[in-house]
Amino acid sequence: MPDTKGTYYRVGGHLFLVCEDTKIHHEKLMPSIQPFAAAHTEEDPVFTLHIQQSATLPIPSEGLIGTFDCGGCLHDVYDLRGEGYCIVFHHINGDTCGLLCTDKNGQEGIVHLMNTPLSHQQFVLGNATMIAYAYATADKKTVLMHASVVSLEGRGYLMTAPSGTGKSTHTRLWRQCFDQCELVNDDNPVVRIEQGKAIVYGSPWSGKTPCYRNVCHPVGAYVRLFQEPENNIHPYQPLEAYAMLLPAMSCMVWDKRMQTGVSKTVAEMVRLNPMYRLGCRPDEAAARLCRDTIQ
């Protein structure tokens, strides 16, 4: 591995290290990470990510597991003979623009960036850092969840649904309706089980909304949104809640260590906090019904 001098960050309570070639300035490529800068302590980082500029990408010649759609962009995933993974990133226009290689435990990773447009390099580094974090922390009672999160009266409320359903619209309505309600993260918050409680953290990954807040709150509830002509809400039973929450987690399901860790964490999340089904219109009445029910 290259030299391990670099910059430390703390996300979801976990310390990690980013190192780079002298030609690369990762803070400029990923400004969203700056609020999470941390001082180095005696604590070992959960993973170290090395960033290199490469003229060509070391794409494996074998071991392709499959091609996965991530927000309209395709990632090719290769199994490195049981010693880790290589993930090749393609921009939404189809261009191959970088890759991430990790060891089998997610403790070390290398991101290869090509001399491509700035937006492509930003895309690769943002996705690679997010995947590396999710992979390294999956067995540490930590998950990255596809959700929009607001805080109100000291608790975090996580709204989840497939893209385009209206998560961001619903949390915006909460902020319009309720004083001191704030957006924590709009796409990929961290949920971590700590001392018998679920805590939601802001993260450097927030989709199209630039909300990169280094804050955390105890979880109040989870809500699964559905677009419906009339507003209605009811609680899920634990098994239903587990089935609804699990698909919202970032997980490489083909990796046993990661899948086991994520599944156990979701089971704890369901045990610790309620989850609700919200059928809703995009109006303030839906936000008020939701808040009045789940608080």
Q: Is there a domain that residue 1 lies in?
A: no
Residues 114, 206: one domain?
A: no
Residue ending a domain, choose from 115, 137, 159? 137
Which tens digit of pLDDT belongs to each residue from 69-118? 766 678 899 999 999 999 999 887 778 899 999 999 999 999 999 988 88
Please give the angle made by the CA atoms of 7, 17 and 106, to the nearest 5 degrees. Answer: 160
Which tens digit of pLDDT belongs to each residue from 256-278? 999 999 999 999 999 999 999 99
Residues 53, 99: one domain?
A: yes
Note the pLDDT of residue 73. Answer: 74
Residues 69, 202: one domain?
A: no
Note the pLDDT of residue 4. Answer: 52
Residues 148, 284: one domain?
A: yes
DSSP output for 271-289? HHS-EEEEEE-SSHHHHHH
**How many other C-beta atoms can be found within 10 angstroms of the C-beta atom of residue 70?**
14
Note the pLDDT of residue 270. Answer: 98
Residues 267, 155: one domain?
A: yes
User: Cβ contacts of residue 31 below 8 Å, gap of 6+?
Assistant: none
Residue ending a domain, choose from 137, 165, 199? 137
For residues 170 and 280, the answer to whether their CB atoms sit within 8 Å is yes
Q: Is there a domain that residue 2 lies in?
A: no
| CATH number assigned to the domain comprising residue 160 | 3.90.228.20
Residues 172, 203: one domain?
A: yes
Residue ending a domain, choose from 120, 137, 154? 137
Residues 174, 124: one domain?
A: no
Residues 85, 182: one domain?
A: no
CA–CA separation, 267 and 99 (whole Å):
32
Based on the structure, what is the number of domains in the chain?
Answer: 2
Q: 21: domain range?
A: 7-137
